[in-house]
Amino acid sequence: MGKKSNKGEDDKSTHDSVATMEAQRVVLPRKGPTVESDTAPYPVRLKEEVVSAVPRSMPSLLGVGEGSSRLWEEFAGAFDGIVWLTTSDLAESLYLSPGAFEVFERGPDEFSGRGSWSEWVHPADAPKVQAATERLKGGARVDLEYRIVLPSGKVRWLHDRGFPIWSREGQIVRMAGVAEDITHRKLQSHKRIKRREQLLAHVLDLVPHQIFAIDETGRFILANDATARAFGIEVHALTGRHADDLISGDDRKRLFREELEQVIGQQAELREVEDRYVDSTGTEHIFRSSKVPLALGGSSKRAMLAIAVDITAEREAEEELRRRAFYDLLTDLPNRELFVERLEHGIARCQRRDQTGFGVLFMDLDNFKEINDTLGHLAGDDTLVEVAGRLRDCVRPGDTVSRFGGDEFAMLLEGAENAEECRVVAQRIHDSLREPLEIEGEKHFLSTSIGIALWTAGVESPVDMLRDADSAMYAAKKKGPGRSQIFSSAIAAAARLEVRLKNEIREQLHDTGFDMEFQPVVGLTDGKLVGMEALVRWDHASRGRLLAGEFVPVAEKSGLMADIDRWVARATFLEMAKWNQAGLLGEHRVSLNVSSQHLAEARFVPYLEMALREFDLAPANIVIEVTESSLIRNAAATRNVLRSIRSMGMLVALDDFGTGYSSLSHLHRFAIDIIKVDRSFVAGIDVHPKRAAIVRATIQLALDLGLVVTAEGIETPAQRRFLEGLGCHYGQGWLFAKSMSGWEMANLLEENKVY
């Protein structure tokens, strides 16, 4: 860069140096694309054509002879922009093309006496221009963009390319270059960048997750709306703010600074962590954060870029699922599994003489069925929750209160050495439950029957303890409501009378004491009847009409369930045959509950095949329902049986899904088509967020696996809408209909009712 020379006159020293150079052939054609040279090329754009090479040493163009200046001007004039030629030290301009005057908006006189235009370079760019000048003097070619300031104060951008011209002796004899006005291009580029930034900002704000960047000093340099909302401030107020201002506690601040240094200090490795922080409302959130180092363009500075996904609800749902392994969802009490585990530990401690003894109380509510039948299951659930709270208040902090299921509870009294200590606790429970419960605005009174069993040296397993406490509880119940009973040898003898019930069950298998009811299964979307579940009942001579839960446990304990299953299958198939002959069955599916005992029998599948042929029924009309316990008792054999069932054309449903922590593994280990969400999960989903989260996760998992979902125990329209919104296919419960007899179901099928 420099001023224009005085009509091609060169100083003597330069003339002498160049005169010694060996002449080279340089041709500037009037028409044609290139300047030919046998020296190294340097690309430059012409107005009409391209000069493919400028010679490394050009004696004929640089001051040797009368016409050299004219020739150089003719050569330089062929280029767009500014062509400049200076002495080797950049001290004096030998040539400056006229385009410079237009670009700089300055006259020739303003360039006179100047070796360069460095003083017109924008102050912010002066350091890099000076650095490029030094590299050029050192023999390097330079290519840089910088700004100049015009007399009006406006700024223009130049793209300047300079290179040294060498003599044969290897000395730099001239500096030359081409500078181009790129202001318009820069403005267009800036506009494009601005549009991209605006688009990026808009996209970032649409993302529901937090996206932010923090520089080395700990200040936010980028944040989207989700990040700003989390801190309770506007985006513009967050940008530039120090993270320490938003982090509470010295330990948290220290950990943040350490992590910032670690992330920025690494090269490109992705760092994934889980973070916890409290938002502006005081609510703690859990985030899954992905953090990477970010190089800030145009400098050596770095920052940390982070994407944080709020997984609070996910973690809470997972925690609830884990709790299902050992806690009852409704009452939040330890469940049977956890109680048995603690009971095992208690027995082990007593056997080591680390503990003198303990007692087990087993109880159920005397009139709970009345509340369920008259007020509904929601009222029953509220009652169980209230009872659980009262039981907690009746024991010491170190004792365990557990809900076994239904209205059954058990208590483990640590360190109870005699029956009297257990009686005191039992009486405390009776007194507590005598206080009325307010349900739906009305007062209700409860009582309970409690069985008490003390550990003795002969007891070695939790099963024995629970059996004795259970026997004592039934003995108490026989005395009337609100009684307690300590296990004794007399009660043990009475327990043997249970055999009589087993015999009665056997008798009913051959008589007409058992009966069948059917509960409709309805499509949640269209309200159409799609099938029904077959439910066995027992018209007991002295106890009235018994639900399956009231005698099936005894049958299972006595090994009679397979016989009951076969009776239920034949009775169900008989009803189905009647519906089929009347043209009512169609594509409706009937669900049969099958026990683990029946599944384990080798003749189970052949029996089904024979019965279907006998009643002329299609396998597609049958759904076999199994429970978790049925699956895990003999997993290998059960897996083969379920495959056989499906190969026949029947479907398999997993009943009471979610009541055990191992449920998730069953979905891929066994041949299952349908999962039935247990009513304990469905109850209250429209008012309890945690239950809703668990049901949502369960249904989504089933849908992802391609399974059909049926929800049990639907009692309110709100529950139906919620489940339908989650994609649940079918439902059953009192909202649609109670269980009914075979002829009532036939009428319902004929009516073709839509719920």
pLDDT tens, position by position, 363-404: 999 878 778 767 788 888 999 999 999 999 999 998 999 999
Q: Indicate yes or no: pTM above 0.85.
A: no
Contact of 85 with 76, CB cutoff 8 Å: yes
69 bridge partner residues? none
Give the Cα-Cα-Cα angle 372, 378, 381 (nearest 5 degrees).
Answer: 80
Considering only 144-148, 314-318, 439-443, 642-646, which range has the smallest mean pLDDT?
439-443
* pLDDT, mean of residues 697-721: 92
Q: What is the DSSP string of 142-202?
A: EEEEEEEE-TTS-EEEEEEEEEEEE-TTS-EEEEEEEEEE-HHHHHHHHHHHHHHHHHHHH
Does the pLDDT of residue 725 top 80, yes or no? Answer: yes
**Rg of the chain over all Cα atoms, to the nearest angstrom:** 45
> 732 burial class (0-12, 13-18, 19+ CB within 10 angstroms)?
buried
Q: In the numeric block, which tokens belong to residue 593? A: 């509950």
Q: Which residues of 150-182 are buried (b: 16+ CB within 10 A; e: fewer)?
A: eeeeeebbbbbbbbbbbbeeeebbbbbbbbbbb
* Euclidean distance between CA atoms 482 and 447, whole angstroms: 5
Per-residue CA distances from 747 to 286, 530, 572, 578, 742 (Å): 54, 15, 16, 12, 9
What pLDDT shows up at residue 431? 94
3-class DSSP assignment, residue 118: helix
Own/partner contacts of 233-236, CB < 8 Å, gap of 24 or more, are 233/280, 235/205
pLDDT-based confidence at residue 154 (cuts at 50, 70, 90): very high
* Euclidean distance between CA atoms 627 and 593, whole angstroms: 8
* Euclidean distance between CA atoms 547 and 535, whole angstroms: 8
The structure tokens 């299953």 sit at 565
Residue of 619, 711, 690, 709 lying closest to 317 (CA atoms)? 690
Per-residue CA distances from 12 to 9, 15, 17, 56, 85 (Å): 9, 5, 9, 21, 18
Residue of 711, 754, 702 lying closest to 721 (CA atoms)? 711
The whole-chain average pLDDT of the chain stands at 81
DSSP class of 95: E
Task: Write the pLDDT tens digit of every residue in 189-239.
Answer: 888 877 877 777 777 777 778 888 889 888 998 888 888 887 788 888 888
What pLDDT shows up at residue 441? 79
* Euclidean distance between CA atoms 487 and 362, whole angstroms: 11
Does the pLDDT of residue 443 top 80, yes or no? Answer: yes
Considering only 311-325, 412-426, 708-722, which range has the smallest mean pLDDT?
311-325
